[in-house]
Structures are given as C-alpha cells and as structure tokens.
Chain A
C-alpha cells in the first residue's frame, strides 16, 4: 500500500529521494559514525566552557529581580548598597539609557516586538530586572543587591491570557515607544496576532460529513540546559569589547548589542566557547548586555552567570497555549478542512511571540491534506515569565493538539489511527499550502515536498512496537495498557532568511582549517560540518581542523536554531569544499604543465580522490605536495575558498512516534513501557548523533507530557523554581527507547541531509496522550497528564457508565 501511495500525486519532475539511494553506498565519511571531533577533549575534561576562565580584576554581577508581578519603579536608593565593601558600580533605569529592543536572537530586522530595555522603569513579572550590582566578588554583589531600596508603585497584574486580552485588563506595555509587527496591539495586551488561510474553509466544512472541534492546552516548560546563561566581558588591547558567552547566536548578539550599547559592530567581538546545551534558551540576548555594560562603564572585565533559580524564573520558557482544533472530514476518512485557533501566553515580553506561534500552525497543518485551512492566532502579554525559543519552536504545542485531535477523529469514524493518517498525509510533490502566508515576519517562499519517508516511518515504527498488539490488550484488571502513535514533520532552516558561511584553507601537510560561523552548542555540529568537508574533499575526518563561531575570525552564520545547521551551514561548507577542490585541480594541472607533462590535465578530467588530485592515466599529486608547491615553488598562492548558503527551500524531516503505556486506574499512575521514534531526516550525516538527538529531544518532552509544569502562587511568583520541585524526567523514568532512521535522500540538502534536531520534541506529548486514551477510553486535552487528573477522570467515567450502562460509548 505504501508504495502505491507514494506514487500518488507525486510530480515526476521531482526527485522523491527513492532514485538517489545509490549515494548511500558511495559515502566515505558522511553517514558514518565517525568519532566526534570534540569527544576526546570532553572525555578528558578539557572542553572549556564560558565560565571556565577567570580574568584578573574581573567583577562579578548580581541582579536585583522584581518581587512584584507588575509595578512602576518610582525611585531607587542605592546609598546603602554602595557602602558594601567591594561594590564597584550599580546600574538601573535611572542611570542607563533607555533603548527599546527585543531580546529575541533573530535575524535583522527581528520579527519580535521591541518591548524590552536593559533597565525599564516598569517591572512586568516576578523575576524582571530592577538593578544590577558589580562587585569585586559574587558575595559582595549579592549582599549589596539586598540593600538596594526600591520604591514601587504596585500595579494590578493579569495572569490569564483570556483576561489579559479582555477590555479593562491592566495594560502591561503602556509605554508609548514600544513597537511591533503583525497584529501588535499593546493597548489590548496583544504581542502578536494573525489570521491566515488557504482555500475556502466555510465551503470545505459544509462539505464535511463530520465536524469535530475541541480545545486543548499546554503548560510552561523550562529548557533546563545544564550550563546556565553566562557571559564574561572584557576590553582587549585595542579597547574593543570582547564577549565570551553561552550563546546560540553570536552574530545576532553582536548586532543587537551594538545597537543597545551604542557602539559600532566593529568594536565588538563575540566568542562562543564550548556550550553546555541551549535548546533555544540561548537564542536570546538574555544577559550578554549586562557584563558588556559593566565593562564599558568600569573598563574592567565582568562576569554574570544565572543561578538555577534564575534560569527558572528569569530566563525564557516554552510559550503556554490554548488551542482550538476543528476538522471537517468525509465518512471515508478524507480530511477536507482544518482550522486552528491559538491563544498563546508570551508572558511579560514578546520574544519570539509571532514566530513561535506561527510555527505552531506552519509545522502542523500542512502535514495532512485538506481543501482548506485557517489559522487564527493571538499571543497575549501577561505578568508571568517570558516565552521564547525552545527546541520545537511552537511545534510541540501544535502537534499535541493536532495529533490528539486526529486520534479523536479516527476514533469517531472507527478507523485505525495509523491508517487514517496514511490516508491523509502529504506526499512527495505536494505543495505546502501555508508556506507563503507563514513566512518569518514576511511572505515565505513556496515549498514543494521532495523527499518524504513518512509512510515508511509509520510502517517501520508500527512493526517495531507491534502496533497490532493494541487490539488484543485484555485490560480487565485495574491496570490498563494502551498504545498511541503520531505523525510529525518539521522544517530545515527558515527559507529565504537563514544564511550561513564557511571558509576553508589548505595547509602544508594536506590538512584543512575549516572556519564556520555555525554554533555547536553541544549538538555535534562541528563534527557534522567537518564530515561534510571531508567527504567533499575526499580526505579522512582527521584532516579537518574546525573552528566555530568567533565573530572576529569566522564568517557569518545565523546561529544554531530553526533546525538549520546541517542543512544550511552544511551546504555552505560543501560549497567551500567544492571550491577548494576546483583550486586543487587547477594547481595540480599547473604543476604538471610546468613540469612538461600536460596530458590529461583538463579540469573536467581530474578528480579529487583520497587526498590526491588524480589524472585519468593514474598519475596523482597529493594535497600536501600541491600545497608545498603553491606556498613555496610555483604559481604561489593560498588555496582557500568560502561558501555562503541561503535556501528558499525548507525540506521537512518526517517522523512517526509510538508509545506503549500502562495506566493504574487505582492510583492514576502512568508507566511508560516502550517508545519508538522512526525518523526521516534525509541522509543521516552522523547516524549515532541523529539517534542521540532523537532520544534527547523525545525524552525532554516526556516530562512535558506527564510531569513538568510551572506552578505559581496568586501573585505570579513561581513556586517550583528548583530541580527538586520542577519534575524533569530522570534516567529512571525513561522507557525502552528505539530510534529508527529511515533512509531518504533530500536533493536540496548537503549529501542528501535534512534536519533532525527539533522534530523529536513534537512527538511525546500527543503520542503518550493517545496511548493513555486508548488504555482508558478517556481523552486528556491538557498537559501534563497527572495521576490526580487520571484518577479523577477515571472515577467520573465510572460514575457515568454506571448511570447509563447500556449506551455508554466513550
């Protein structure tokens, strides 16, 4: 069945990937589990992270955070704090210039509202910035922070999105100078809003035999990267500002800092050392401005590092959302219309407010074919912690609602959830109906699907978990077993926006320096990019010396986000390497000609093979010989090339997730027994890393499904701001996990690759919810699904069925 379906509707002019499978046999370095380039140094404890250095005379910074959810700062008295021995400087809204910006680390111009300032005379959530102290040591700074006296005019606060956008709600951004795009309406607490569609939804719903509509809701989530946000700033010998920081976006950081600190980009160098995880939380200029400001004012090095509690309350989070999903479907299971309404909570500031919510629709809706689609979105300001970029970027929220909803539809029609999905899922050659409407802050380029292995993901995932077993679960005791599945897709970069560059040069011994702007934040991208260069150059991985992300030394890269590094930065590397190959051939030909042996030296006759340029007659010159000659003997020049890449395409990776659970109806406890994730990421450049990305991404979201949430008191104060009380999954909670890499070949990607890093985060919420629904016959439309909720719903169901035993249908 699957082969037939793949043929269906596929535009023959497009390469569906199937014909390109031969590539797999020819790969020498890519698609191999090479040793990661940083493995040894990390194992030896040598990987230096931002905070592993200390500088002479370095100041330590501590922040005073707002204790109020909403207040105006009338006055700040720092006289007592200044008297604390060791205190050097204190900054706040009355001595730092007010310039509006967004902390969102996005491309220029950032499609997020300019609603933040380094220090604002108004605080908008418990944990907002009030003032910072720079002192000789952290202890003095912490003591001084407590001695700052602030006169607040406490304002009424609003915590619920529906209340926030209702008339009469306290206005969170009443300042006249904040600006935004796409529906920005601060008077009504709206950070972003949009309504887009494709086709005539009214007509399509009218055609449907069944229309189903439900509300869903998803909670806050914290990234919990092991390394907190940290930045160290100093002035170099040319009096330039150097910033060493844990960032996913060094180039955006440099650009944004230049504007808010009012110094030229030329005067700033941002260095990204080893990073201990980002997950989107570091796609943000979250604290870099503070040590930079201190250094510029005091001319001394300065360090600012968040504590774990500050990570929870004052860093960024996954936007909570309420989602209304409405579908129209024919009796035979053909979807005809889909409508999604999102009401999102961006907290006090609108970082990524428009784009995360845009992706909630953009990543989900196009997965299933329909005649018409509609997306209505409102993102509200509230006096709560701030939303931001978080691996998945709106996808996990949307997929929870959509994939739960699809199960509900399949259930009502009496169809197998896997078959129902297969029937409606997009096929190679399909055009993404929403691509144009959902560009990143501007119109997006059209998207056509080339490689698509989603049906194989469904088939192989189902086989691995034993999908048919779900029909024979007895479930006659108090313990109920269930199985659920979902289909997923994501993107590879932001089409028409994301650009990356790489620079490659040859050394005497035939090795290469590869300089990339791309930001390895623990993902393994340094290894993957080096593999791509090695494959193109036909050298072993060990010949590539990679250096990444230093704004003075490496070329530009948009940064580590939007699942773009392999696809966008990887292609830039491939282009650079292809250019170097050309130059190697040219130089070799010149060497042979110079030596009076010019036969077979046309460029198209030469090839780069195993560290040599080879002639048709078998004669060859090693890269090292060529380098020595071009350095010292003849036709002297440096063999080097750069590549830049921007793509108008955004090929989605696809995936199918499966979960098997047991639910104890007496306690409401859920036990995850088995999890299978089958993923089509094109050619896996480093298969083990792809598996690692999949396991890590999915595990993060198992807590989202079952245990993680932000708990606030009545005044907007976060109650569970520690690893003790914020219940992330531990290794003991993770079930048996199997990753299946489905082979496809993406013609527009480097060596056939697409992205892999975000798609696994989309799955666990709905997959686990669907498994629980099968086990209990109860649908949970809100995450996390806790034992308390399960127990309550089970008792309610029992009460219902005992009242009307005959016609009870759940």
Chain B
C-alpha cells in the first residue's frame, strides 16, 4: 500500500506569494503543480517534502500571450493538454513542442500535468522508481531518498546499481517537452522572493541524475516559457517507447529546421532526450549551408548518435537503444525535409510510436 506521507499544505494565490512560501519553507518545501510526478514520488518516499506549496490557485501561471516580436510566452501552469492545443503554438514551427506535450504519458495525465512540472520532472532509473521496500531490499542507491534535486546535492553515499563504482548517478532525464523546447531555442522565467531572471531552457539542466536541475535555485519558481518567433522554421519530435501510450520516453529526438531556397539548410537545431541525465544538444554545423541530402542526413545522424550513452536503467536493451538513435535522427530530419509521410509513419511502428 502506498500513501503519501503527512505534509503541510500551502496554497498561494500569486507568484510572489508562492516564491515567498517556497523561501520560507526552506529545504523542506516543494512546489506541487499537477502532482503527476511529485505525488507518486512521495508515495514511494523518493521525495518527502514537509511543506507542499500547491500552485493550482496561482492564475498568473496559466497566462499565455504572443508578444509584439511574435515570440510566444506560455505560463508554466498550463496543462500539457492546453499546451498542445494552444492556438499560439499552432504553427508548424512549434510542432516539436505540441507533439511532445501530446505524447506525455496518457491523455488523463496530460490533463493534470503542467508544462512547468514537466520541465522540472525528476530523473528516472529502474533501480530508483520503485517503492520504498523494494529500494530498501537493495539497500537504496546514490540517488537516495530525500527532498528533490537541490537537497540531494549533499548526499553522496551509496552505490549506483547501474554503474557501480561510478561517482555520479546516471538516472535518465525523461521529460518530453524539455528537448523540444531546447530545439526551439526557448527560455524560461525563474522567480524567487528576491527577484526574477530569464535563462535558456538548456541551462536549467546538468548531466547528473541527482543534481539534474542545477540551473534553477531551490527557491525559484519557474513561471513561464518563452519561445521565439520562428519564422520559416519547421520542427518535429520523435519519441521512442514500447507502447503507444503511458510510457516515458527512452529516447527522443527534437529537431527544428529552416530551409532556404534550393533546400539549403539555413538553420538547424537537434536535441536528444532520454539518453543522458539532461537533454543533449547536438551541434549542427555540418548541416548548415548545404542541401539536406540523404548523405548529409546519414552523416549527421552518425555524428548525433555519438554522445548518446544510454545505460541499463530503462526499458529496452541499452545497445539497441544506442543503435536506434541514428534511425530516429534520420527519420526526424527526413520528415522535416518533407519526405512523404507514408514512408516515415511506417517506421513509427505501433510498438515504437513516433508521429502524431
């Protein structure tokens, strides 16, 4: 039986109140948005905040708008369903984001889960995402129970069961929207009791299964996501999981592209998800300034697959997961090039669903 441990609940109405409450609670406090990640984690005693600060009454977190420059701001409190359906991001340029949001978990969870919660999602590992008794039986691991990310930075004892002897934790960054937003060049606003700052999405993360949110201070609330106007861009998101629903990504490829006259690549951004403890951005210099030929795609895919170092801590064999990175990069780029969807959809096998 899994029940949440006792906690004190605070329900601020404004962003400022939320930030103050978070500061006041200190290391014992955590924010609760949709709760689809935090509550299961609390039941499993992976995260045990004494003070839970609920964000559902903070209306400002759900505000979204398009600025004069065409850039779009999405409130961190928007549900994933609303994110996927938002008219502000209906353009093909933002398809990576809308596809990613609509492929999180299940429709029910998308209705509850928020964009901000998705960006702050805990990292995952087969040895960690188990209930307390289970983990107790293997004597826990480095990513020991304790309040989330920040507080865990101090915890260093324990073994990593995936890579024994390794100094770090290799739990996997499993958020769907982060790689998509990185590929779109998005930024986020972080608000604390002493001020506000805006940083690129990628800078939130560190390649460390425990300290994955190193770029955000513990007392900061993520309030909004800013996606630049992407005139002439197209983007897509390919997600690998065993089933057509429910499953976390075990690999994802977010790609954004701007093609100029003659099919020459003017701009390209490719991000891999779920192959490390943070999203990995792939350098695209080799693509830019040249037409997107089969050869160019193949060479780029080989290059992109290199930094992916999956470990044996998610679904599927790691060698196979490493191997299909290449195929997924090829598929995503070919889709953006405009190859007939029939051909592409086919590799989106049901057991490996990819396209929306």
Contact = CB atoms under 8 A, between A and B. Distances in A.
A733 B244 contact: yes
Interface in B199-251: 242-247
A118 B172 CA distance: 43
A669 B243 contact: no
Given A142-B1, A735-B350, A725 B315 contact: yes
Contacts of B244: 730, 732-733
A18 interface: no
A80 interface: no
A796 interface: no
B1 A664 contact: no
Contact of B317 (A309, A672, A732, A788): A788
B327 A666 contact: yes
Interface string B331-354: 000000000000100111111110
B346 A662 contact: yes
Given A479-B347, A669-B347, A787-B316, A664 B242 contact: no
**Max chain B Cβ within 10 angstroms of own Cβ: one of A664, A669, A731, A788:** A669
Interface in A628-667: 662-664, 666-667
Contact of A666 (B133, B246, B347, B351): B347
Given A479-B347, A662-B346, A787 B320 contact: yes
Contacts of B352: 664, 667, 669, 671, 787
A727 B352 CA distance: 13
Nearest to B354: A669
A791 B351 CA distance: 14
Contacts of B324: 666-667, 787
B323 interface: yes
A306 to B, nearest CB: 10
A507 interface: no
A67 interface: yes
B126 interface: yes
B68 interface: no
A788 B350 CA distance: 15
A86 to B, nearest CB: 14
Given A707-B242, A733-B244, A67 B137 contact: yes
Interface string A534-558: 0000000000000000000000000
A589 B247 CA distance: 69
Nearest to A735: B350
A796 B24 CA distance: 61
A672 B244 CA distance: 12
B320 A732 contact: no
Interface residues of B, number: 31
A284 B28 CA distance: 47
Interface string B116-129: 00000000001001
A717 interface: yes
A668 interface: yes
**Max chain A Cβ within 10 angstroms of own Cβ: one of B133, B320, B348:** B320
Given A67-B137, A719-B126, A727-B243, A733 B320 contact: no
A672 B245 contact: no
Nearest to A146: B133
Contact of A662 (B126, B131, B133, B349): B349
Contact of B353 (A668, A732, A786): A732
B108 interface: no
A220 B327 CA distance: 31
B327 A788 contact: no
B1 A672 contact: no
Given A309-B131, A719-B126, A730 B347 contact: no
B72 to A, nearest CB: 29
A671 B316 CA distance: 17
Interface string B283-326: 00000000000000000000000000000000111001001100
B245 to A, nearest CB: 4
A66 to B, nearest CB: 11
A298 interface: no
Nearest to B328: A667
Contacts, number: 93
B197 interface: no
B3 interface: yes
A666 B329 CA distance: 12
A735 B349 CA distance: 11
Given A664-B346, A787-B352, A307 B316 contact: no
A439 to B, nearest CB: 41
Contacts of B320: 668, 787-788, 791-792
A706 interface: yes
**Max chain A Cβ within 10 angstroms of own Cβ: one of B3, B315, B346:** B346
Given A719-B126, A787-B351, A479 B346 contact: yes
Contacts of A662: 346, 349
Contact of B1 (A62, A478, A479, A727): A62
A67 B136 CA distance: 11
A724 interface: yes
A667 B321 CA distance: 9
Contacts of B348: 671
A717 B315 contact: no
B351 A706 contact: yes
B137 A670 contact: no
A194 to B, nearest CB: 38
A138 interface: yes
Nearest to A305: B1
B347 A733 contact: no
B1 A671 contact: no
B3 A671 contact: no
Contacts of A309: 131
A24 interface: no
A667 B349 contact: yes
Contact of A732 (B2, B243, B346): B243
A307 B244 CA distance: 25
Contact of A667 (B1, B2, B246, B347): B347
**Max chain A Cβ within 10 angstroms of own Cβ: one of B126, B131, B247, B350:** B350
B242 A727 contact: yes
B119 to A, nearest CB: 21
A463 interface: no
B74 to A, nearest CB: 26
B243 A733 contact: yes
**Max chain B Cβ within 10 angstroms of own Cβ: one of A139, A670, A724:** A724
A142 B131 CA distance: 14
Given A669-B347, A787-B351, A732 B245 contact: yes
Contact of B351 (A67, A717, A733, A792): A733
Nearest to A792: B320
B229 to A, nearest CB: 34
A668 B244 CA distance: 16
B1 A138 contact: yes
B254 to A, nearest CB: 18
A142 B316 CA distance: 34
Nearest to B131: A309
A731 B347 contact: no
A786 B131 CA distance: 27
A730 B243 contact: yes
A383 to B, nearest CB: 16
Contacts of A733: 243-245, 350-351
Closest 7 CB pairs of A and B: A732-B244, A669-B349, A669-B352, A671-B349, A788-B320, A730-B245, A788-B317
Given A664-B349, A671-B351, 20 more contacts: A139-B3, A142-B1, A307-B2, A309-B131, A477-B343, A662-B349, A664-B347, A666-B324, A667-B349, A669-B347, A707-B242, A707-B243, A719-B126, A727-B247, A729-B243, A730-B245, A732-B245, A733-B245, A735-B350, A792-B320
Interface of A: 62, 67, 138-139, 142, 146, 307, 309, 477-479, 662-664, 666-672, 706-707, 717, 719, 723-725, 727, 729-733, 735, 786-788, 791-792
16 contacts: A67-B137, A664-B347, A664-B349, A667-B324, A667-B347, A667-B352, A669-B349, A706-B351, A707-B351, A717-B137, A727-B242, A732-B350, A733-B350, A735-B350, A787-B320, A788-B317
